[in-house]
Amino acid sequence: QIAKKKNDNEEKLSLLQMEYAVLRRKYLKAYDDLLHLQTKFIVDLSKKENLDIVLESLCFWEGKRLENYAMCVMNNHIHWVFRLYNNDEFDKPVYLQDVLGSVKRYSANKINKLEGLQGPMWQKESFDTTIRDDKHLIRAVEYTINNPVEAGLVKDWQNWKGTFLAPGFY
């Protein structure tokens, strides 16, 4: 009786995990579609001056706290795939929230100054995903670099000025 109940619970858990994964993918896809359809934004991140600031901030911790694999700066959001180091160049632990906070603060301050704006520029929420294996990493990178293609902005990801792929990634 106990073994049967345990199997039933494991089966229910497995089904709930699959349902959660499907719903999460649908939610993220719908959110991405919403971002792509948006044509009015307070700040255009893909504008040359803003793009330079965002790329500079995304690359700042390269080799110190993280390794960049891919990034794409869209008009109103970014996609960024990187490997976070366990420890920084001073052998201190590296925390994702510290890196994201640093990137958001720096870029928001610089862009706000440039655009004559004040206040928060980035959403508090970010859609972080832990990469599980090499296959997942490749899918995440391909999704990232092909974002402007999916949005209908270019036919080839290499034609979008805000896209970066680490040399030798493939």
30 pLDDT higher than 70: no
Q: Render pLDDT for 107-156 as a digit per residue (tens, 0 to 9).
A: 999 999 999 999 888 987 778 889 999 999 999 999 999 999 998 999 99
> In terms of Cα–Cα distance, which of 69, 75, 36 is closest to 145?
69
Mean pLDDT of 3-24: 79
- The helix/strand/coil state of 87 is strand
Q: Render pLDDT for 64-94 as a digit per residue (tens, 0 to 9).
A: 999 999 999 999 999 999 999 999 999 999 9
36 pLDDT higher than 70: no
Higher pLDDT, 133 or 33: 133
Q: How far is CA 5 from the centre of its chain?
A: 40
Q: What is the mean pLDDT of the chain?
A: 89
Q: Across the chain, where does the E strand assignment appear?
A: 66-73, 78-84, 163-165
pLDDT band at 41 (very low <50, low <70, confident <90, very high): low
Residue 35: what pLDDT? 63
- The helix/strand/coil state of 126 is coil
The whole-angstrom separation of Cα 31 and Cα 90 is 38
Share of the chain above pLDDT 70, in %: 88
24 pLDDT higher than 70: yes
Mean pLDDT of 159-167: 96
The whole-angstrom separation of Cα 18 and Cα 64 is 37
The DSSP code for 158 is G
Mean pLDDT of 13-19: 84
Could you tell me the pTM of the whole model? 0.78
The whole-angstrom separation of Cα 60 and Cα 52 is 12
* Contact status, residue 70 vs residue 169, Cβ threshold 8 Å: yes
The DSSP code for 163 is E
- For Cα atoms 8, 133, 7, give the angle at the middle one, nearest 5 degrees: 5
Beta-carbon contacts of 24 under 8 Å, excluding residues fewer than 6 positions away, are none
